């Protein structure tokens, strides 16, 4: 009976600490209708604290193409953009992310925008957080 209570508490804590976060607001969704977008493969990061893994972050990003005709240019640069994002998110995970609070999609967007602007040009692509899930270890 005791193990059943422990499993129930662990299940409840897992549900409480798995935070989804969406950055596409209703007005942004309306503005995004008709624009091409590229959904990136998820980024999986470990959340570390003093060398110990405290949890896992899974981040789903969407690149919204703002300029017409730039879709192929962005598609060709996607491996470089993904590499830049992976490096940047690793640094950001050490500084800003925690298992005890949800991911702020505006911080992620502001942090990643200069990297994509460097690769394809300023204002060509907007970065949006589609979903961010934090799971405690």
Domain ranges of the chain: 19-136
The confidence score (pLDDT) of residue 87 equals: 96
- Distance, in Å, from the CA atom of 95 to the CA atom of 111, rounded to the nearest integer, reads 12
pLDDT tens-digit readout, 78-103: 999 999 999 999 999 988 888 888 99
> pLDDT of the chain along its 137 residues, tens only?
555 455 555 555 554 444 454 445 544 554 556 789 999 999 999 998 888 999 999 999 999 999 888 899 999 999 999 999 999 999 999 888 888 889 999 999 999 999 999 999 999 999 999 999 999 98
pLDDT of residue 28: 57
Architecture of domain 19-136: 2-Layer Sandwich (3.30)
Say what the pLDDT of residue 80 is: 97
Cα–Cα nearest to 87, from 24, 36, 43, 137: 43
Q: Strand 37-39 to strand 43-49: parallel, antiparallel, or no bridges (unpaired)?
A: unpaired
pTM: 0.74
């Amino acid at each position: 009976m005791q193990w059943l209570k422990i499993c129930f508490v662990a299940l409840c804590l897992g549900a409480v600490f798995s935070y989804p976060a969406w950055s596409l607001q209703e007005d942004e969704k309306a503005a995004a209708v008709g624009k091409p977008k590229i959904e990136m493969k998820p980024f999986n990061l470990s959340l570390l604290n003093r060398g110990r893994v405290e949890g896992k972050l899974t981040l789903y990003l969407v690149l919204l193409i703002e300029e017409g005709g730039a879709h192929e240019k962005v598609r060709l640069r996607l491996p470089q953009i993904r590499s830049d994002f992976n490096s940047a998110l690793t640094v950001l995970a050490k500084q800003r992310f925690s298992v005890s609070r949800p991911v702020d999609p505006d911080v992620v967007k502001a942090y990643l925008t200069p990297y994509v602007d460097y690769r394809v040009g300023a204002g060509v692509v907007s970065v949006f957080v589609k979903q961010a899930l934090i799971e405690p270890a």
